Amino acid sequence: MSGPFRRRARGALLAGLLLSACTVEKAPQTAATPEASFAPMKAPLGQVAGMRRLTEAQYRNSIADIFGPDIKVAGRFEPIVRPVHELIATGASASTISPAGLEQFDAMARNIAAQVFAEDRRSQFMPCTPRDAAAPDADCAARTLMPIGRYLFRRPMTQEEIGAFVMMAGKGAGDGQGFYDGMQLALAAMLVSPQFLYIIESAEPDPEAAGSLRLDNYARAARLSYLLWNTTPNEALLRAADEGRLTDPAQLAAIAQKMVRSPRLEDGVRAFFADMLLFEKFDEMAKDQIVYPRFNPDVASALSEQMLRMIVDQLVTRQGDYRELFTTRRTFINRALGPLYQAKVSSMQGWVPYEFGDGDDRAGLLGQAGFLALYSHSGRSSPTLRGRAIRELLLCQPVPNPPGNVNFTAVQDVGNKAMPTARIRLNAHNSDPVCAACHKITDPLGLPLERFDGIGAFRRTENDAPIDTAGVFEGTAFQGNVGLGQALAASKSTTECVAGRAFQYATGRMPEDEEATAMALEQGFAADGYRIQALFLRVATMADAYRVSTPPLPKPQVAMMTSPHIREGDRP
Partner 1 sequence: MSFTLDRRTALRGMVNGMAVAVGLPLLDIFLDGNGTAMAATGAPMPIRFGTWFWGLGVNPPRWFPSAAGKDYELKVELASIEALKHKVNILGDFTLPLDGKPNLPHISGGIGIRTGIAIDSDRGLPGPSFDVSIGDVIGTRTRFRSIELSATGDPRNSLSGRGNGNLNPAEVSPAALYTRLFGAGFHDPNSATFTPDPAVMARRSVLSGVTDQRQALEARLGAADRQRLDQYFTSLRQLENQLDVQLTKPAPMQACVVPPKVPDLPVNAEIENVMRNHEIMTDLLVMAMACDNVRLFNMNFNNGASSLTRVGSTITHHQLTHEEVLDNRLGYQPEVTFYVDKCMEAWTYFIKAMDAVKEGDRTLLDNSLVFAHSETEFAKFHTIDNIPMMTAGSAGGRIHTGQYITGDGSPVSRVGLTLQQAMGVPVDRWGTGSLETNKIIPGLIV
Shortest gap between Cβ of 99 and partner 1 (angstroms)?
4
Of the candidates 60, 143, 171, 329, which one interacts with partner 1 according to CB under 8 A?
Answer: 171
Is residue 560 involved in binding partner 1 (CB under 8 A)?
yes
Residues 530-559 binding partner 1 (CB under 8 A) are: 550-551, 553, 555, 557-559
CA distance linking residue 508 with residue 505, whole number of Å: 6
With CB under 8 A as the contact rule, which of the stretches 80-88, 129-137, 211-219, 259-267 interacts with partner 1? 80-88
Residues 93-122 binding partner 1 (CB under 8 A) are: 94-103, 106, 110
475: number of Cβ within 10 Å: 6
Shortest gap between Cβ of 426 and partner 1 (angstroms)?
12
239: number of Cβ within 10 Å: 20
Cβ 50 vs Cβ 201: under 8 Å: yes
Polymer length of the chain:
572
Q: Please say which residue, 39 or 97, places its beta carbon nearer to partner 1.
A: 97
With CB under 8 A as the contact rule, which of the stretches 90-98, 319-327, 348-356, 442-450 interacts with partner 1? 90-98
Q: Please say which residue, 34 or 551, places its beta carbon nearer to partner 1.
A: 551
Shortest gap between Cβ of 50 and partner 1 (angstroms)?
8
Is residue 83 involved in binding partner 1 (CB under 8 A)?
yes
CA distance linking residue 195 with residue 419, whole number of Å: 60
Name the β-bridge partners of 511: none
Is residue 165 involved in binding partner 1 (CB under 8 A)?
yes
With CB under 8 A as the contact rule, which of the stretches 19-27, 140-148, 187-195, 328-336 interacts with partner 1? 187-195
CA distance linking residue 132 with residue 129, whole number of Å: 8
With CB under 8 A as the contact rule, which of the stretches 208-216, 316-324, 518-526, 564-572 interacts with partner 1? 564-572
DSSP H or E run through 441: helix 433-446
Determine the angle formed by the axes of helices 265-276 and 492-507, rounding to 10 degrees: 110
What type of residue sits at position 137?
A: D
Is residue 202 involved in binding partner 1 (CB under 8 A)?
yes
Is residue 404 involved in binding partner 1 (CB under 8 A)?
yes
**DSSP assigned state of 528:** T
Q: Please say which residue, 146 or 365, places its beta carbon nearer to partner 1.
A: 146
Is residue 164 involved in binding partner 1 (CB under 8 A)?
yes
Give CB contacts under 8 A, 24+ apart, made by 511-515: 514/544
Is residue 177 involved in binding partner 1 (CB under 8 A)?
yes
Residues 445-474 binding partner 1 (CB under 8 A) are: 454
Cβ 11 vs Cβ 38: under 8 Å: no
Shortest gap between Cβ of 568 and partner 1 (angstroms)?
4
Q: Please say which residue, 71 or 80, places its beta carbon nearer to partner 1.
A: 80
Shortest gap between Cβ of 188 and partner 1 (angstroms)?
6
CA distance linking residue 367 with residue 352, whole number of Å: 17
Q: Please say which residue, 46 or 420, places its beta carbon nearer to partner 1.
A: 46
CA distance linking residue 466 with residue 482, whole number of Å: 18
CA distance linking residue 258 with residue 18, whole number of Å: 10
38: number of Cβ within 10 Å: 24
Residues 247-306 binding partner 1 (CB under 8 A) are: 283-284, 286, 288-291
Of 163, 166, 227, the closest CA to residue 199 belongs to 227
